[in-house]
Structure 1
Amino acid sequence: MAATNFKLVYDVVSNGKVPVSMYKSTDTNLTVFIANIEGPLVNGYFCLATEAHDDDGLPHTLEHLVFLGSEDYPYKGVLDLLANRCLASGTNAWTDTDHTCYTVTTAGCEGFLQLLPIYVDHILNPTLKESGYVTEVHHVNGEGEDAGVVYCEMQARENTGESLTHLSMLRAMYPGHCGYKSETGGIMANLRESTSHKKVCDYHKQFYRPENLCLIITGAIKAEDVFRALQPVEEKLKKRASPPFTRPWQSPVPSLPDSQERVVPYPTDDEEYGMVTVAWRGFLAKDQYKYEALSILLDYLSDSAISPLQRDFVEIEDPYCSKVYQFIIENSETCFGFSFGNVDKKRLHDIAPKLKELLKKIADGEEKIDMDRIANLIHRRVLDALNTIEGDVHDSVAYMIIGQFLYGDTKEDCEVRLNPIDSRRRLKSEPESFWLNMLQSLTQNKPWVVVVGDPSSKLMETMGEEEKGRVEAQRKELGTTGLEERRVKLEQATEENEVEPPESMLMAVPVPSTESIHFHPLTPSSNLPGRAGAANPRFPVAEVPYKFQLDDMSTHFARMLALLDTSSLPLELKYHLPLFTESLMESPVLRDGEVIPHERVIAELEKDTLYTDSGLGIPPGCFQCGDFPHFLVTEVKVEEEKYEQGVKWLRDVLYGTQFTADRLKIIANRMIGDISSLKRSGSRIVRTLLHTLVFTKECNFNVASMLRQLTFLTQLVTKLESDPEKVIADMNKIRDLLLQPPNMCIHLSCDTKKLAANGSPVAPWKTFLSGATSLGSGDGTTTPKMTDFVLSLESSPHKKFIVGVGDVESAYFLQVVPCISSYHHEDLPALKVLVQYLTQCEGPMWSQIRGLGFAYHYSIYVRPDLGLLYLLLAKSAHVADAYRVGQKIVQEYLSGENEFSEVELESARSSLIFEIIEEEKTIWDTAQESVLCYLRGVEHEYNKEMVKKVPKVTVEDMKSVGKKYLAPLFDPSVTRSAACVHPTKVEEVTTDFKKYVLC
């Protein structure tokens, strides 16, 4: 390695697989971690420890302003435009209570190294202009309304039940002077009245320093290349004198002297269900062994239908709630607890006493800890860590390193933190007394915090009226002159922010070649006519007498999917499908003449599998289906040693499940409770509404709709009381129809070489499907096509929906128009590039919709499987304005009023190439794409071919496809639309949209 001011501090290996090295600059104290990970992507996580003691949201507001230009690159958006050229899709960041992290992912290391010094310059030397603060954080517009990107983001979540109860828990858990109880995102009142541009600048001086910055880089990249890229940053930093630095989070955390119980009303129009959080103080974050143990203990208590909490609170005829989940918050002094969701309002105050009684029963030994189940959970955690190495390894390693940066000191701390597998294997030898002592020491006779989230429709109405009154009072106070001043101030700020960087600055960063980027190797084969693929002598799929698809790849696991075509089911049976899928893994099973009770089934699945799931579409969903929802998908994933057990389990749950009235009733009641929280989600509601406008009633998008299922399941619970035999007969009939050989296809992803070492991997499948003797006809593509479920415009009884929901403070909007219906259509590459051009980070829509604070999120996307083009606006403070601006942008580009730029086209093509490559960033992502290739009717090389087509798209191509496909997206005669807003804004939004000829 060439001479450098970065010196190696230590090397460790994470989970026996990933080499990690820590370096420190002798000149600036800048820290660099490099994790060597094979694959097509390189990731950067640039982390700073940040601390706040108020609700002004300074960490969050500063995070946003960093992206608006730097000393060397003083233009808003230039960082994202350059990132797009570097085979990335813009940049991103998040703000947590104890740190702020900036991220970027590139295809290959060449673009990453080009962008690295530019990104670090933005972090350490941002321009922080007041004009950026005005548009990005908060402003009052010429109508007297509050807006801004940060304001819009916080408006979408501040007054949700989950956010209010969580913040209340933190306030109680960390009393006194302690940053852990602050809302680092910013509270709207503070953003309006207290937060200021000067405070943000001062905050940057305090925390954004090289000795407080940790650059975490994961991927196939050389350390010497990283240090070479950072050299100009280092030289610049050395010339500056900085005041002494005090590391954040050094003050002792005040103790929790007494238990706290709080009731937090939250606005909603559904008062039937509330929520409860119960929490305690935990261990120090440095004690990772105890942290791992606590996590497993909490899983034991709450993670499945046989866990004590779910057993006593959910899995009963008259449930207290529909879900319980555990959490640990890794502060220097951690806290942990349980959240109870969709709690029957009449029982909100019964949760904590019942929980206290149950935990005491276990801690006192009255209810024995099931050590076999503890061992199974530990083994699953080990497998999960090994699976992560093959899957989400970049994020997993980076998050562990962030914890080390914040709370670790030594190499030994890092080795423990980065090797959770070692800790988990050690935990297997801990006796029952270890787990009992932990439960006793943390929960018995210890102060706790109980927060009851109480749903209130009255509060919803009051808050809505108060907000309208506040805005009206603000208008009056400003008066005509003041409003004009605000309009001018915003206009001037926008004008200053929108100065474009010179083309020479963008062109100075060349677009890297994609030639050196390697996709994960996967060899597909199948017995489908026309889709045979490569012959695999270790797994001759032709010997399987039903549809079978194989992915042969390098892995220690085997994933098997059963895809069952539901399209031939009668509609009255289809409505049972969500309940059917939820019941498969949680019901008794008939095996070898013996009925195995559901508790044992769940326990044995925990023991024998890494992961199981069942639902509609890819990936499987319940009330929100995945792609191709007419397929019911059941999934089992196992370690390679348990391959044959995995096949047996898949067959057992499909063929052997015994539907019983008591289990069906319990599961149905739980699902009804789950719908309660879904009805409070603006994004879920708007998608559900649009589905009713676009798809036939037979389509599973509508069959599984939470609104239809609420009615159906409520009636079914009653029917289970009066006529349980009929319900059970219907469930069995569904199974009989779905398991007919023409309806079944198996997709297996595994390493055939490893499996073949222990016998024939094809043998268990030859007798898997009862009654299958030969493959039959068909080419293996989906029949019917998804486009068969799309209503024609003439058949759609309604074209536009708007609904008011009390839990939704900002607006959501979704619109759709007919479009390309084949993945092989010659116009598809150009249409994708055009959409990318308009929507890319710092592209036209980013700067004018998000940048001006109209909506926090927007997107346009094409779905050839559905033959539809979508427009989405989400978390929008001014949804009609966001729509108007989007419409204007498209019209001006298509009319020629705005000219397409070759430089921005280059950025669009590069960022689109990255997004295509990212679809296969891990071997398991590649396997998922393989499943979709069959369903989409495309070749396995499809993404690689698309990467080659994208660079050939020209401006003329974009103009041509824009007029054909994008112009209709804003034509009210051919679009269908759904909007979800607060009830107080339904009339206002409807009126505003009529101005734009939408309604």
Structure 2
Amino acid sequence: MAEKFEEFDLLYSGKCNGVVPVYKYRSNVTGITVVIAQVEGPLVNGYFCLATEAHDDDGLPHTLEHLVFMGSEKYPYKGVLDLLANRCLASGTNAWTDTDHTCYTMTTAGAEGFMNLLPIYLDHVLYPTLTESAYVTEVHHVNREGEDAGVVYCEMQGCENTGENRTHLALIRAMYPGACGYKSETGGMLENLRTSTSHRKVCNYHKEFYRPENLCVVIAGQVDGSQVFPAIKPFEEKIVSKGSLPPYKRPWQSTVPPLEASVEEVVLFPSDDEEHGMVKIAWRIAKAKEFYKMSAVMTLMEYLTDTAVAPLQRDFVEVPDPYCSKVGYSIIENADGCVYMSFENVPKTKLTNIKERVLELLKKLASGEEVINMTRMSNVIQRQILDALSNLEDHPHDTIAFDMIGDFLYGDTKEDIQLRLNRVETFRKLKAEPKEFWIQLLNAYFVGTNYVVIIGDPSQKLMEQMGSAEKERIKQQQKTLGEKGLTANGEIVEKSTKANEVEPPDEMITCVSVPDVKHIQFHHIQPSSNHEKSAANNNEKFPLADIPVLFQLDDIQTNFVTLICLLDTGCLPTDLKPYLPLYLEVIIESSILRNGELVSHEDIIAELAADTVHTATSIGVAGSRFNCGNFSEIVCIELKVELEKYTKGVQWLQELLYAVQLTPDRLKVIATKMLKDVTRMKRKGSAAVGAVMRNMLFSKSSNMCISTMMRQQTFLGQLLTKLQSDDPDTAKQVVTDMTKLQQLLTQPCNIRIHLAAPVERLVQLGIAPNTVWEKDFLPAGVNPGGERPTVKRAVDFITSDPAAPAGMVVGVGAVESNFLMQATPSVSSFDHEDIPAILVFVQYLTQLEGPMWRQIRGLGLAYHYSMFLKPESGLLYFVLYKSSHAASAYKVAKQIVDGYVDGSTPFSPIEMESCKSSLIFELIDKIKTPAKASTESLLTYFKGVNMEYNQSLIQKVSAVTLEDVKRVGAQYIAPLFDAAKSKCAVCCHPSKVQEVAANFKG
């Protein structure tokens, strides 16, 4: 691109890791920084970043982030930005607040809508209205009932007192003593939001930090300067017309006070489970500008924590009596950075033992008593190189944006940018560093230096005290306000809501036209499969006819090979199914019999990490531990490898299926690790309510049910009792059961392979891609025959038990907000003719600045809500997340739906057009990268639809009429809010269970 676009000077041009062109410009008139990264694909992402610094817990950066979306000088109406975004093939806008910056985002399908929205977004960021009425509803207020509410308040209420948050806040407070903004809770503490934060403070904060010199706009997608700068020019003229601003002082330039002594602190957190806590240990490390040193610390942390053979995992997790279920790390990239290790699910009796064991291990490594394994270090760095390249392919927009945000905050020179954008080069240099370099690094930052230790100690007593204290506080607040005060508060909220809900004129919305989908660039896939003989040889360079298992090929432009093995669990008897989650974790961390020799689990873990970019297993496609993905009656084993290791990847898959050796010791270690993780999961309201709902909806023989954390907790506990039995036959029975499961699952008739790869490039490497599958995949003596059963779907397991509860409220001590999930039967075929209309109705209700946004989130009743259709299970869902008043939010949602269904609330033609546009964006978002496009391709085989399903659905959505929407509303949406036709689960604090249950009964 050009070195200059009118007032914008080119400061840097280069390629991110030698792949994606990146250009950085700065305006010599206003000081605005613009970065353009020419990422391929259908989406264009924008990131509007401002450096923000706070020295208290009022949460001004966070409150301001919310208020920016409430209207601007030129567009002075709440939500107009999101309404316009929805028309621009986007799904609204978003933002996040970090300790050192605030970033506003938007993503559009194609460049046309992005350019239309760009100057409108800039007007909101630099010239928001910041009205007092917006502050009342969006930040904090006390309602007519004397209860605290507001969107920001509701959000922070849902996270302030979790163990993770309380320990993290204690850690940064101790790590950054004295006058330092890094110790602040920029989200806002509840006490501050109630008593200290104010509308005036927010306005003053905007004046100080929201100015053009402090704004960096990162644009990633198929755009160039000739499109971007003309779109910005009129806005620059507006900035100039405002006159000069006070002198600019760049944030985060003050000296960070040193950590002059080690700190150890015990932090209690509310929990109804007192058996397991957490520990965090932190050290100061390099400055943000010292990118090479920062990268070296990251590599050292990977060496210490990544995979079961890493020293910390080996000594704390992979032992008969574990100290925790997981060891992780996080680097905080501040002016003076820090790194902390996290030890999760630590038995209460071992909370005080972690620190000494960690320090002792680090001393051993630094002194040479334990030798650093340079072969493994080299493998760790090689995987970091591949991860960097993989992230650039799978998450290109975010990868480059995060690098450029870091540069904007702390960088000064072209060399700083070059280092950030070329991590691969940095890792290659680190790969050449000798052992002495890593020892020096340990001594520089971790051995003999000051540290911070935070012990998170679970307390049921604190949980009860906090529940009682909050009830008493509300009671006292109601008493203080009195009837007059409560009425006045209600009127303030009502008045503010009315002021906020003034509708923008139609011409303000329609002035932005809906872009044409025809101009959007999609990733091309050439699919083929051997499901039918006629299609088996569609790809002449990769014939599939002679491969002995079901095989699906996506020939796609990518730098990697992704192999996914899908196993049908329909062959398993009910008594073996509970072993599935354990089996999927065990197979990638166990010994293997290779060429007649037993290779230890330690060697297998290290080799697998060296040979792959990514390894994952799950129940269903893209599932997670204790949570099924799509098509839950299959299990997935996924490997991602370099092109050169294609054959090796197939060999690994074959060994994981047929050569894994199951032993009581490994089963015991991994089952213990999983069991401890249940404790962490049970503290999450969203996880708890989801598990309860699945237990209510699905039969006990379904994977959806057997994989829930509550059932796995019971099963794994019983299994460990058997494994620890003095009777060897009892432990052997567990191994026998697991071996039987393994044999049944890996019968060729139950196997399906999905492969995504650039076939031409494999051939150019001298690889005959089909040969290894034909000759080597099935072991000798395994017959490829057998009848292939039809994979069952989740809808086949919907419970018909009349005794199953229709509603349930559960209490979780670590939760202060409410979480709700409700479901009703709906369409169960992916090609059902009503799906497009159902999706449009749901999108109309839930789109940003749509009816539910305005009346649920806008009134502070819940931080988030959603509705979604799951044809695979034949269910339609409604969800409330972090709700301050679940019953009130639910009642409002029902009223909204009833209004549209009975016709008392008319549909807006303009909002209908916007909703279709935002829905089309969400469909395109599913196929935004080669990996995502291939995943959607995989799913088409199980959905029973053709490869053009998504593109066809886009056309059908466009064609949905108002009559279609009205018809499906009565037929499918209304039953979701009918207690006789739906099931409901709610999670709340134990002290509120009776109250919540009574509210819903009423």
Q: What TM bracket, shorter-length normalisation?
A: over 0.9
Please say if 1:760 is aligned against 2:768: yes
Alpha carbons of 1:553 and 1:393: their partners in 2 closer, same or farther (altered >3 Å)? same
1:935 counterpart = 2:935: no
Tell which deviates more after alignment, 483-492 or 691-700. 691-700
| CA drift at 1:531 | 8.8
User: Aligned residues: percent identity?
Assistant: 54
Q: Distance in 2 between matches of 1:823 and 1:300?
A: 45
Matched to 1:24, the amino acid is R
**Equivalent residue, structure 2, for 1:696:** 699
Alignment partner, residue 595 of structure 2: 592
Contact preservation (8 Å) 2:478, 2:486: yes
- Equivalent residue runs for 1:362-401 within 5 Å: 362-401=365-404
Cα contact 1:30–1:210 (8 A) shared by 2: yes
Match of 1:860 among 857, 862, 867: 867
1:954 and 2:961 aligned: yes
The Cα shift of 1:769 comes to 2.6
Identify the range of structure 1 (716-725 vs 312-321) with the bigger mean alpha-carbon deviation: 716-725
* 1:12 and 2:23 are equivalent in the alignment: no
- Looking at structure 2, the residues matched to 597 and 475 of structure 1 have their Cα atoms a distance apart, in angstroms, of 65
- Does structure 1 residue 806 correspond to structure 2 residue 809? no
Native 8 Å contact 1:584 1:614 kept in 2: no
Aligned equivalents of 1:215, 1:796: Cα separation in 2: 57
CA distance in 2, matches of 1:366, 1:425: 27
Query: Counterpart of 1:555 in 2: which secondary structure?
Result: coil
Instruction: Return the offset for 1:759.
Output: 2.7
Runs of 4+ with deviation above 6 angstroms? none
Q: TM-score, structure 1 length as denominator?
A: 0.98
Aligned to 1:829: 836
Q: How big is the shift at 1:3?
A: 5.8
Contact 1:823 1:938 in 2 (8 A): yes
Aligned with 1:128: secondary structure?
coil
Q: Report the Cα distance in structure 1 between the residues aligned to 2:558 and 2:138, rounded to whole angstroms.
A: 45
| 1:853-903 alpha-carbon deviations (Å, 9 max, x no partner) | 000010010011111000000100000000000000000111111110110
Greater Cα offset, 474-483 or 228-237: 228-237
Q: 2:745 aligns with which of 738, 749, 753?
A: 738
Q: 1:292 is matched with which residue?
A: 295
Q: What residue identity is the alignment partner of 1:139?
A: H
Deviations 1:565-619 (A, max 9, x none): 1122111111111111110111100011000000000111111111111121111
Number of the residue aligned with 1:203: 205
Local SS of the residue matching 1:19:
strand
Distance 1:278 1:937 in 2: 50
Deviations 1:212-246 (A, max 9, x none): 00000000012121111111110110012211111
Contact 1:95 1:101 in 2 (8 A): yes
What is the one-letter code of the residue matched to 2:178?
G
Query: 1:786 maps to which residue?
Result: 794
- Counterpart check, 1:457 vs 2:466: no
Report the alpha carbon displacement of residue 786 of structure 1 after superposing the two structures with TM: 2.4
Distance in 2 separating the partners of 1:97 and 1:592: 54
TM-score by length of 2: 0.98
Where does 1:317-356 land on structure 2 (aligned, <5 Å)? Answer: 317-356=320-359
Secondary structure of the residue that 1:300 maps to in structure 2? helix
Instruction: Check whether the contact 1:581–1:615 (CA below 8 A) recurs between aligned residues.
Output: yes
- Partner residue of 1:131? 133
How is 1:131-530 mapped onto 2 (pairs within 5 angstroms)?
131-240=133-242, 241-529=244-532
Match of 1:660 in 2: 663
Cα distance, 1:622 vs structure 2: 2.5
Counterpart in 2 of 1:877? 884
CA distance in 2, matches of 1:614, 1:865: 20
Counterpart AA for 1:787:
V
Task: Identify the residue that residue 122 of structure 2 maps to in structure 1.
Answer: 120
The CA deviation at 1:389 is 2.2
Alpha-carbon distance in structure 1 between the residues aligned to 2:482 and 2:10? 62
Q: Which amino acid aligns with 1:786?
A: A
Q: Given the alignment of the two structures, is residue 916 of structure 1 paired with residue 923 of structure 2, yes or no?
A: yes
CA shift in 2, pair 1:326/1:531, >3 Å = farther
1:606 is matched with which residue?
609
Match of residue 70 from structure 1 = 72
C-alpha deviations, 1:123-162, integer Å up to 9, x for none? 0000000000000000000000000000000000000000
Q: Which residue of 2 aligns with 1:964?
A: 971
Q: 1:818 is matched with which residue? A: 825
* Offset of residue 772 of structure 1: 6.0
- 1:775–1:394: structure 2 CA closer, same or farther, 3 Å change rule? farther
- Cα shift readout 1:538-577 (whole Å, capped 9, x = no counterpart): 1111111221111111122111111111122111111111
SS of residue in 1 equivalent to 2:535: coil
Deviations 1:601-659 (A, max 9, x none): 01111111111111211114221111111111111111010111111111111111101
Matches of 2:911 and 2:806, distance apart in 1: 35
What's the offset of the Cα at 1:304?
1.3
- Displacement of 1:391: 0.9
- Residue 451 of structure 1 aligns to a residue whose secondary structure is strand
Query: Aligned partners of 1:846, 1:776: CA distance in 2, in Å?
Result: 53
SS at match of 1:822: coil
Matched residue count: 992
Q: Secondary structure at the match of 2:869?
A: strand
For 1:563, which of 560, 563, 566 is the aligned residue? 566
Contact 2:533 2:545 in 1 (8 A): no
CA RMSD after TM alignment: 1.2
Quote the Cα distance in structure 1 between the aligned partners of 2:636 and 2:5. Answer: 56
> What is the CA distance between 1:739 and its match in structure 2?
1.1
> Which amino acid is the alignment partner of residue 419 of structure 1?
N
Whether the 8 Å contact between 2:280 and 2:342 is mirrored in structure 1 is yes
One-letter identity of the residue aligned with 2:943: R
In 2, Cα distance between equivalents of 1:110 and 1:223 = 14
Q: Secondary structure at the match of 2:282?
A: strand
C-alpha distance in 2, partners of 1:533/1:648?
22
Hey, what's the Cα distance between the residues in 2 that align with 1:627 and 1:428?
39
Match of 1:102 in 2: 104
Q: Which amino acid aligns with 2:588?
A: M
2:997 aligns with one of 955, 968, 990 = 990
Helix, strand or coil for the counterpart of 1:991? helix
List per-residue Cα deviations over 1:431-490 (Å, max 9, x = no partner): 000001001111111110000001000000000000000000000000000000000000
Q: Given the superposition, is the C-alpha separation of residues 917 and 506 from structure 1 closer, same or farther in structure 2, using an over 3 Å criterion?
A: same
Contact conserved, 2:704 with 2:794, CA < 8 A, in 1? no
Equivalent residue for 1:37?
Answer: 39
Alignment deviations for residues 513-535 of structure 1 (CA, whole Å, 9 cap, x no partner): 00111210011111113893770
| Unmatched segments (≥5 aa) in structure 2 | none
Q: 1 CA distance for matches of 2:533 and 2:339?
A: 54
> In the alignment, which residue of structure 1 is the partner of 2:543?
540
Show structure 1 runs of 5+ residues with no match. Answer: none
